[in-house]
C-alpha cells in the first residue's frame, strides 16, 4: 500500500535528489564490481588495461561515499512529507536496515578491497587477485542491498 505523499516542490526536489544519490552510488558500485571481476581474471599486472590502471590509480571512494547522504536525504523527505511518511513506518525501517547492510559491505569490503588492490599492484599478484575477488563479491552484496531497498521504497510494505 502506498502512502498519500505530499507533492510540494520541496518534497519533489528532495525525492529527485534522494533517487539520484542512490543511482550515482549504485553505478559506482557496478563499476567497482566490473573492474574487480575483470582484474581477478588477469594473469599479471602487465595484462592490465589503461582504464584499469587509471581506475585503481585514483581514489574512487568519493562517489561511493555518497551513500552516506542517502539516509540524510531520506530524513529530509520524511520531514517535508507533512506527516504522510514517518520514521516509524515499517518500510522506512527496512530501508534503513538495508542501507546499514550496504554501507557496511561498502566500507569493509569494497573500499578496503580497492585499497588493498592499489597497495599491492606492484607487489604480490596473488594478493591482488584475492582482494579483487572479495571486492567483487562485496560489491554485489552492496548492489543487492540497494536494489532491495529501492523495491521496499517503491512498494512501501506496512
pLDDT digits (tens, 9 = 90+) for 70-85: 999 999 999 999 888 9
What CA–CA distances, in Å, run from 151 to 65, 91, 117?
21, 10, 33
Residue 64 is placed in which grid cell? 561511493
Highest mean pLDDT of the ranges 43-52, 75-84, 129-138: 129-138
Residue 22 to residues 10, 14, 86, 125, Cα–Cα distance (Å): 18, 12, 20, 33
What predicted TM-score, i.e. pTM, was given to this entire model?
Answer: 0.87
Amino acid at each position: 500500500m502506498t502512502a498519500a505523499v505530499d507533492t510540494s516542490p520541496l518534497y519533489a526536489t528532495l525525492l529527485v535528489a534522494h533517487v539520484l544519490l542512490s543511482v550515482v552510488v549504485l553505478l559506482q558500485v557496478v563499476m567497482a564490481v566490473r573492474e574487480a571481476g575483470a582484474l581477478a581474471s588477469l594473469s599479471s599486472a602487465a595484462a592490465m588495461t589503461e582504464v584499469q590502471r587509471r581506475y585503481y590509480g585514483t581514489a574512487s571512494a568519493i562517489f561511493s561515499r555518497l551513500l552516506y547522504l542517502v539516509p540524510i536525504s531520506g530524513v529530509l523527505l520524511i520531514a517535508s512529507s507533512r506527516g504522510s511518511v514517518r520514521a516509524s513506518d515499517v518500510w522506512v525501517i527496512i530501508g534503513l536496515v538495508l542501507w546499514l547492510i550496504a554501507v557496511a559491505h561498502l566500507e569493509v569490503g569494497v573500499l578496503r578491497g580497492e585499497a588493498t588492490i592499489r597497495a599491492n599492484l606492484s607487489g604480490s599478484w596473488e594478493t591482488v587477485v584475492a582482494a579483487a575477488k572479495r571486492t567483487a563479491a562485496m560489491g554485489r552484496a552492496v548492489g543487492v542491498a540497494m536494489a532491495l531497498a529501492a523495491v521496499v521504497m517503491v512498494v512501501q510494505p506496512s
